[in-house]
């Protein structure tokens, strides 16, 4: 890089001033890393109101139609029809944003608001782009079919292709103007009062011309919003060289004069790895170089502030001098003047010559005759004249070129300040644009209904709707319970029924599955899997329905009633000398939503609680054999742990194994959840054959029909298995059983429960 700040050694002390203070860029804190990944495990899933997206898509089509027609191009107001749709677009966006703000006020999740805003930006930009391509395709199809309007349609297609960037920028800017209008409405105050921020996406980002343009280096866009900076220039006046030169120049100025810089350090945005600093703040350029503003303030202020402003003016005069010297040493003055003069010449020649060619001619980079020949060629196609009927010539360009060379010898300070401000604004907007495109790349806008359903069911989807457009958030699962019933003996009973010429299907339907289905509705459960000897049910709790946050209690009640169904079935079996059924039930709880897959419209649940409940519902063959003849057992669940010196490894590779015969085991996490669902009374009772008291917990809960039920939980301790004798030492590991034995329940009731 060219060092433009080499200075001769001097013995003079450097003048120190701290009358100027530059501010750190208020960088946008936009980060979606803490949001859950969507169905592709990469992006964040977003679903925007179908009403809003449909309205926006229709509006975009109408805008493109108007802005590409001969009646309304870029400078005219939209038609009354389009204006009406712009108002509807404005209203819909405002309603959704207001709803999103209220939904985020409890946990102050600013990123949820930003997600909607960035998703809306992405939707607009992608829809405008795709709609324009569709418009061109439709016009081409009409050309091939329509002979009468073929010439007119072809001319329109040619115009669109020639002005594609301007057309896209125009439509985008009209839509973004509505977003900004909403952000500046009372919504800003609402957001500030609820979330503490008036702007969650800075206005400078929403109003960023580069974000609205398909080409951030487009000459016309640059001339209209910043300053022309050609991309093909080989001298210092190109973006890459200017970036390093200006950064070096500003660092030199602020260091030499020891100007105060609040938080004068660089910030690298962790999502986009883009560096932001005080040099990206256009207002800082005004603070450093706006001599005229300080001079005007001096004329108006009283004596008390006169000294401060005078010192500030002196500092600015020194910084402007350094700015001029730096730009002169880099030989940039003529190029800067030419860049500001190019838009005037572009309009003067009726946009017949490309801006970059005019700029190069003004700088002396190309010969004037090249421009003259191009102008002549264009005028043959489209003859143009001045109002005095004189033909357009190259003379105006030559005169302007000479004038710029004279101005370059003693440049105006205001032009230099304008340049540094415009360049810094452009550089900041490039960074903002890159940042937004980075975060837009993290978003997956879901449209397909099956994708929406899959993401929603797995609690991955961020949805944004107008009030009343969609069901409330009861569909959002906050936690779930899995009940696994291990039905044993069904195969033997089926074989016996077949042997006797009876129908197993009707037998099980009437005596088991139909009663179970009725219980599912009463206790608010859903089927996960019911077939043969496997019964898996789920119970969900939904956000914003706290009166139904009793999933564990309802699961315990459902399990108890399922055992009653099996007992009735066994009474029938004993009557007809049929094999009896055994049931082991396990209940597990997870404080989160399960995951879901879809096989067509069939929802398939994925949850570790299913495997855990399966283990709790199991019954070891060793223990079943040991306790087969003990009809006096008061407990239907026992858990044993392998002794350290025991070679027995249990079943399914477990070091613990259990006895669960017509019993219900409750996972410890589920028991803790039960404590939060109801007030449990603690009771201690000494059971027969025990030399210690056992803890029981009793309470009441309501099913989905509002009926009250009792519940009793036994707290047991895992025992260490002894293969050769029945002395089973207790561990400190607890397990829990839902008590169904009438003798224990009646005893607890007598104690005042």
Name the DSSP letter for residue 290.
-
| Mean pLDDT, each 10-residue run in order, the chain (753 residues) | 42 45 74 90 95 97 91 80 96 94 81 96 98 95 83 90 94 96 91 85 94 94 94 82 93 81 55 80 92 86 78 91 94 96 93 93 92 86 60 88 94 94 96 94 93 86 86 68 89 82 78 86 89 85 82 96 91 83 94 83 86 93 82 88 68 75 96 92 89 92 88 95 82 95 90 74
pLDDT of res. 384: 63
- Closest of 716, 717, 723 to residue 644, by C-alpha: 723
CA distances from 448 to 436, 444, 459, 627 (A): 25, 11, 17, 56
Residue 526's H or E segment, with its range, is strand 526-531
pLDDT of residue 271: 61
Neighbours of 39 (CB within 10 A): 20
Contact 204, 300 (CB under 8 A): no
Question: In terms of Cα–Cα distance, which of 462, 536, 481, 520 is closest to 666?
Answer: 481
Determine the Cα–Cα distance for residues 512 and 492; give it in Å rounded to an integer. Answer: 15
pLDDT of 646 reads: 65
Residue with tokens 């950064």: 247
Q: Give me the domains of the chain, ranges plus CATH numbers.
A: 25-440 (no CATH), 473-750 (3.30.70.1230)
What distance in Å separates the CA atoms of residue 612 and residue 666, rounded to the nearest whole number? 11
Neighbours of 256 (CB within 10 A): 17
pLDDT of residue 80: 93
Q: Are 109 and 76 in contact (CB under 8 A)?
A: no
DSSP string covering 622-687: HHHHHTTT-TT-S-SEEEEE--TT-----STT-SEEEEESSEEEE-HHHHHHHHHHS-PEEEEEEP
- d(Cα 678, Cα 661) in Å, to the nearest integer? 27
3-state secondary structure of 52: helix
- State both tokens at 505: 């299907």
Alpha helices, H only, 349-408: 355-363, 368-381, 395-407
Collapse the DSSP code of 48 into the 3-class scheme (helix H, G, I; strand E, B; otherwise coil) and give the result.
Answer: strand
Q: Which residue carries 């009474």 as its tokens?
A: 571
The residues with which 482 forms a beta bridge, in sequence order, are 538, 588
| pLDDT at residue number 654 | 62
Q: Which of 411, 432, 430, 424 is nearest to 286 (CA)?
A: 424
Which pLDDT score, from 0 to 100, does residue 659 have? 94
Amino acid 41: pLDDT:
92
Phi first, then psi: give them for residue 578, nearest 5 degrees.
-105, 155
Find, among 621, 661, 615, the residue nearest to 637 by Cα: 661
**Looking at beta carbons, which pairs linking 704-708 to residues 24 or more positions away fall under 8 Å?**
704/521, 704/522, 704/523, 704/524, 704/548, 704/554, 705/522, 707/522
- pLDDT tens readout for residues 369-391: 999 898 888 887 766 655 555 66
- The token duo for 473 is 């958030």
**SS3 of 257, please?**
coil
8 A C-beta contact, residue 532 and residue 687: no
């Amino acid at each position: 890089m060219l060092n433009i700040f080499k200075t001769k050694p001097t013995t003079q002390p450097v003048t120190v001033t701290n009358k100027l203070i530059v501010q750190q860029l208020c960088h946008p804190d936009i980060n979606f890393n803490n949001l859950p990944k969507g169905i592709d495990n990469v992006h964040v899933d977003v679903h925007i109101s179908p009403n809003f997206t449909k309205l926006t898509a229709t509006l975009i089509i109408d805008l493109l139609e108007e802005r590409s027609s001969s009646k309304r191009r870029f400078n005219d107001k939209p038609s009354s029809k389009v204006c009406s749709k712009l108002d509807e677009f404005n209203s819909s966006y405002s309603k959704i944003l207001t709803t999103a703000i209220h939904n985020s006020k409890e946990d102050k999740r600013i990123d949820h608001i930003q997600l909607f805003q960035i998703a809306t930006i992405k939707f607009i930009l992608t829809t405008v782009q795709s709609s324009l391509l569709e418009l061109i395709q439709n016009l081409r199809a009409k050309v091939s079919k329509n002979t009468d309007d073929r010439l007119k349609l072809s001319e329109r297609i040619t115009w669109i292709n020639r002005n594609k960037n301007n057309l896209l920028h125009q439509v985008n800017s009209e839509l973004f103007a509505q977003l900004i209008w909403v952000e500046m409405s009372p919504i800003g105050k609402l957001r500030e009062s609820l979330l503490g921020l008036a702007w969650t996406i800075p206005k400078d980002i929403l109003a960023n011309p580069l974000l609205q343009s398909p080409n951030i280096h487009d000459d016309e866009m640059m001339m209209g919003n910043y300053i022309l900076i050609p991309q093909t220039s080989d001298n210092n006046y190109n973006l890459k060289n200017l970036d390093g030169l200006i950064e070096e120049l500003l660092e030199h100025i602020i260091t030499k004069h020891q100007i105060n810089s609040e938080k004068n350090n660089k910030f690298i945005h962790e999502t986009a790895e883009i560096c932001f600093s005080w040099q990206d703040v256009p207002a800082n350029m005004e603070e450093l170089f706006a001599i005229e503003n300080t001079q005007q303030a001096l004329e108006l202020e009283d004596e008390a502030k006169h000294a401060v402003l005078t010192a500030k003016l002196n500092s600015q005069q020194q910084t402007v001098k350094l700015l001029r010297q730096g730009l002169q040493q880099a030989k940039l003055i003529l190029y800067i003047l030419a860049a500001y003069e190019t838009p005037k010449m572009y309009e003067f020649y009726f946009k017949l010559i490309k801006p970059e060619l005019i700029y190069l001619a003004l700088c002396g980079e190309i010969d004037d005759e090249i421009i003259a020949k191009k102008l002549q060629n264009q005028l043959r196609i489209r003859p143009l004249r001045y109002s005095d009927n004189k033909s357009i010539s190259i003379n105006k360009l030559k005169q302007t070129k000479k004038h710029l060379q004279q101005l370059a010898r003693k440049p105006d300070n205001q032009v230099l300040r304008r340049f540094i401000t415009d360049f810094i604004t452009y550089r900041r907007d490039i960074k903002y644009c890159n940042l937004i495109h980075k975060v837009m790349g993290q978003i997956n806008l879901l449209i397909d209904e099956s994708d929406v359903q899959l993401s929603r069911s797995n609690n991955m989807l961020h949805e944004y709707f107008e009030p009343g457009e969609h069901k409330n958030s009861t569909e959002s699962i906050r936690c779930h319970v899995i009940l696994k019933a291990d039905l044993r003996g069904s195969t033997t009973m089926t074989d016996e029924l077949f042997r006797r010429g009876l129908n197993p299907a009707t037998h099980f339907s009437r005596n088991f599955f139909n009663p179970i289905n009725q219980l599912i509705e009463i206790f608010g459960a859903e089927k996960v899997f019911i077939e043969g000897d496997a019964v898996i049910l789920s119970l969900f709790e939904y956000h914003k329905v706290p009166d139904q946050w009793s999933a564990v209690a309802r699961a315990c009640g459902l399990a108890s009633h399922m055992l009653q169904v099996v007992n009735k079935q066994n009474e029938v079996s004993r009557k007809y000398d049929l094999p009896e059924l055994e049931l082991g039930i396990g209940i597990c709880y997870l404080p989160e939503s399960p995951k879901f897959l879809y096989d067509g419209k069939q929802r398939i649940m994925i949850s570790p609680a299913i495997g855990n409940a399966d283990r709790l519902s199991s019954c070891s063959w060793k223990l079943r054999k040991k306790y087969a003849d003990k009809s006096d057992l008061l407990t239907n669940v026992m858990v044993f742990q392998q002794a350290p010196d025991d070679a027995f490894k249990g079943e399914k590779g477990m070091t613990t194994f259990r006895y669960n015969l017509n019993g219900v085991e409750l996972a410890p996490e589920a028991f803790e959840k039960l404590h939060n669902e109801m007030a449990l009374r603690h009771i201690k009772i000494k059971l027969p054959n025990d030399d210690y008291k056992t803890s029981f917990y009793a309470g009441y809960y309501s099913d989905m029909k509002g009926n009250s039920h009792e519940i009793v939980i036994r707290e047991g301790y895992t025992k260490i298995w002894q293969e050769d004798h029945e002395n089973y030492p207790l561990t400190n590991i607890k397990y829990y059983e839902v008590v169904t034995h009438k003798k224990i329940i009646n005893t607890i009731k007598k104690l005042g429960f």
